[in-house]
Structure 1
Amino acid sequence: MYANDGFRELGLRECLRLMATVPVGRIVYTRYALPAVLPVNFGLDADGAVVLRTSASSDLVRAVNGAVVAFETDQFDTVRHAGWSVVVTGTAAVMRDPEEHERLVRNMPVSWVPCAQEVFIRIEPEVVSGRELVGGGPMHGVGLSA
């Protein structure tokens, strides 16, 4: 990364802290051998894993279980030309353990599209990267470095 390109790399702790401030991200996966992107609401588990709650019968469950996926979330201020973006890359897995399911029901955000049979998809973070657009100055009230 070039020193004057207008971006600053974010460390792991800062990436996770920023991710926790927004309710929606995008999961990037393969569908029919093509890239697919789906906006979803999510939560972060205590170990930094990304957790999604979705319908047990969704196409997403079948497409991502056991697959390497990317998950991206961000926040931008278009007036100030500032913001940040974080990408988590890792293996997604449907959580099948009943005790783990109950813990996640209590601790994770409710799906914006509730359904009768929900499952949780957990993305284990293997690579976490983030950057802040610093060209326009820091955003106020979104947790960017002071």
Structure 2
Amino acid sequence: MSPSSGTMDPVRGRVGGGTIGGMDRDDRVEDLSEAECLRLLGTVPLGRVVYTEHALPAVLPVAFRVAADGRLVLALRTGTRVARALDGTVAAFQVDDFDRAGRCGWSVLVHGRAEVVRDAGERAALHSGGLLPWIPEPGPEYVAISPELVSGRRVRPDAADQDTCPAPRPHCA
């Protein structure tokens, strides 16, 4: 890579700084700290789990919660293949929130080892705490992902769109 084209970030697999293809990097896009990513995970109730099914990538929207120990606990319907496919594997989990009118938002991606929650007391506490699958029947079955890699990006609104992006929304701040 030449000095004018920036440097390669091996973790994120993209070029940072400098110019890309002769164009300046968009300064509206901001990489988020791990702490900010973890905070944002707690602001939305649904995300997408990415796993492998029949040797192909699969993506499923799921209800989730950030547990006190930092794990992401996914609520799945009992009896689906998803929990079996996830158990003991490395999975990805993605959440986002966007304001279409303001053309701003954020996205967080987590990679980590997934394990079925087998402890009956923990399952009962999750259920009584209101963590239910997006489609609640039959259910629930829980899978926990222990975050190992966490990354995120925020897209700030264009100057022309500043007034259309609602100020109270945390992703547009």
Q: Give the TM-score of the pair, scaled to structure 1.
A: 0.88
Give the structure 1 partner of residue 31 of structure 2.
9
Q: Higher RCO, 1 or 2 (CA under 8 Å, sep at least 6)?
A: 1
Which residue, out of 44, 59, 67, partners 1:37? 59
Gapped runs of 5+ residues in structure 1?
A: none
Q: Which amino acid aligns with 2:17?
A: Y
Is 1:50–2:72 an aligned residue pair? yes
Is 1:141–2:168 an aligned residue pair? yes
Q: Which moved more, 1:102-111 or 1:48-57?
A: 102-111
Partners of 1:82 and 1:139 within 8 A in 2? no
Q: Which moved more, 1:49-58 or 1:102-111?
A: 102-111
Q: Among all aligned residue pairs of Structure 1 and Structure 2, give the percentage whose two residues are the same amino acid.
A: 41
Aligned-pair CA distance for 1:55: 2.3
Give the structure 1 partner of residue 104 of structure 2.
82
Partners of 1:64 and 1:93 within 8 A in 2? yes
Q: Which moved more, 1:24-33 or 1:111-120?
A: 111-120
| In 2: Cα distance, 1:74 partner to 1:2 partner | 24
| In 2: Cα distance, 1:123 partner to 1:15 partner | 15
| In 2: Cα distance, 1:80 partner to 1:2 partner | 25
Give the structure 2 partner of residue 107 of structure 1.
129
Which residue, out of 65, 84, 98, partners 1:62? 84
Q: Which moved more, 1:32-41 or 1:5-14?
A: 5-14
Larger of the two Rg values belongs to structure: 2
Partners of 1:42 and 1:108 within 8 A in 2? no
Is 1:122–2:137 an aligned residue pair? no
| In 2: Cα distance, 1:44 partner to 1:120 partner | 12
Aligned-pair CA distance for 1:144: 3.5
Partners of 1:21 and 1:142 within 8 A in 2? no
Partners of 1:72 and 1:85 within 8 A in 2? yes
Partners of 2:166 and 2:172 within 8 A in 1? no
Following superposition of structure 1 onto structure 2, how do residues 20-35 of structure 1 map, counting pairs within 5 Å?
20-35=42-57
Q: Which amino acid aligns with 2:118?
A: R
Aligned residues: 146
Task: Report the secondary structure of 2:170's partner residue.
Answer: coil
| In 1: Cα distance, 2:130 partner to 2:73 partner | 8
